[in-house]
Amino acid sequence: MNDKDFSIFENKIGISFKNKDILMRALTHRSFINENRQLGLEHNERLEFLGDAVLELIVTVHLFNAYPDKTEGELTAYRSGLVNTSMLSSVASTLSVNDFVLLSRGEAKDTGRARQYILANTLEAIVGAIYLDQGYEKAQKFIEENILTFRDDVVDKRLWQDAKSRFQESAQEHANTTPSYRVLEEVGPDHDRLFTVGVFLGKDQTAKGEGKSKQEAEQDAARMALEVKNW
């Protein structure tokens, strides 16, 4: 059963939902439904789909207006830096989403990269729920207050730059070598694969990363390697 008080979360984000069921749906992961079918709840994947589009539109419009001299490619890179899994899961953690999301017992025990995906996806679902329940302007305000505040950091510190490119440049500069990547593990069904990729300098594994595609896992591994090496 659900014993979470979602009104605390509403207070946390400063939004009182007209339809409380929409908020509950946004915070309900598919795994919880599988264990609690008798409750008749819906999971959050449709809201995640909607929220992803709303988030992308609002961030895109903001960047378009903020950087009138930047090219399409540069704006795309900035947007990617603001809406990637790491950023969204970090924002979700700050908002204590982890304390309110409804998960299966198994998922609730997982605190690794898989949890980051769940938190990022849940944040997108929350954006979708805000848009449906409160309208575009409230969704825009939520995104401006919780995600776009990181814009200057992302742009000025070049956090938007492709992590593999950054790590390759750093590896050539500091270690005089080019990194290589290797798939270490693939799990899950074809429609929901999770790849684990290792990044190597010579024969030594520097770090590993996870993603829903090999490319995403390689990017994650490169980000982890930059942190490990402090480059």
- Known catalytic residues? 52, 124
| CB-based contacts of 108, cutoff 8 Å, min separation 6 | none
How far apart, in whole angstroms, are the C-alpha atoms of residue 107 and residue 132?
27
Give me the torsion for CA of 218, 94, 59, 26, rounded to 10°: 90
- Among 146, 161, 143, smallest CA distance to 56 is for 143
- Whole-angstrom CA distances from 20 to 101, 106, 132 are 14, 26, 12
CA angle 74, 79, 84 (to 5 degrees): 130
CA of 81: how far to CAs of 86, 88, 109, 118, in Å? 9, 10, 28, 18
